[in-house]
Structures are given as structure tokens and as C-alpha cells.
């Protein structure tokens, strides 16, 4: 089965000390989704393990929401977040 990537948002800010990216969502995202973050100097693939909305842990978020997303490596403002989807 082939996989595609679909844009779900972009990085608005990155907190390096705690490894959290603020992502402005343009599509829904949930814990367990496999994502990739891409940018000029960024290429990070990971599974969503933890995210927050207004400092409260959530298991899913909708388009239009701003989330705090725990990331495994440095990401930059403007990087694009994609989710892997089965085709």
C-alpha cells in the first residue's frame, strides 16, 4: 500500500529548551499520526506522542487550532508539517 503526505500545518514557533513546536493546524491531527516536518534545513519524521491545546493535553485537534507538539529534533518557524496517509 502506497503512502502520501498531506499538509496539516506549519511551525509558528519552536521552544528549544523543552523541544516543543507551536503548530498552526490547517487540517486535523491526532496522537498516533505519523508526521514529517520539512523545511530548508529540516527533515524530521516521527509519530505524534504528545500535544497540547491551551496547556491541556489532548488526543486530537482540529483545523484552525494552535497546538504545542513535542518534537524529537530542532524545527524552525515556517517549516511545514505533513501527515502520512495510506492511499
Number of domains in the chain: 1
Give 3: exposed, middle or buried? Use CB within 10 Å, 0-12, 13-18, 19+: exposed
- Residue 24: what pLDDT? 98
Side-by-side strand order, sheet with 66-70: 43-47, 34-38, 80-86, 3-15, 20-25, 66-70, 51-53, 56-58
Q: What pTM did the predictor assign? A: 0.94
2-53 pLDDT, tens digit per residue, is 789 999 999 999 999 999 999 999 999 999 999 999 999 999 999 999 999 9
Q: Above 80 in pLDDT, residue 1?
A: no
CATH number at residue 71: 2.40.30.10
C-alpha 82/C-alpha 29 separation (Å) is 10
Q: Above 80 in pLDDT, residue 87?
A: no
Query: Which residues form the domain of 18?
Result: 3-86
Amino acid at each position: 500500500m502506497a503512502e502520501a503526505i498531506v499538509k496539516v500545518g506549519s511551525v509558528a514557533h519552536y521552544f528549544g529548551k523543552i523541544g516543543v513546536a507551536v503548530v498552526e493546524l490547517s487540517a486535523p491531527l491526532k496522537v498516533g499520526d505519523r508526521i514529517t516536518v520539512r523545511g530548508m534545513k529540516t527533515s524530521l519524521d516521527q509519530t505524534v506522542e504528545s500535544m497540547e491545546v491551551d496547556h491541556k493535553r489532548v488526543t486530537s485537534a482540529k483545523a484552525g487550532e494552535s497546538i504545542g507538539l513535542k518534537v524529537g529534533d530542532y524545527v524552525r518557524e515556517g517549516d511545514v508539517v505533513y501527515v502520512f496517509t495510506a492511499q
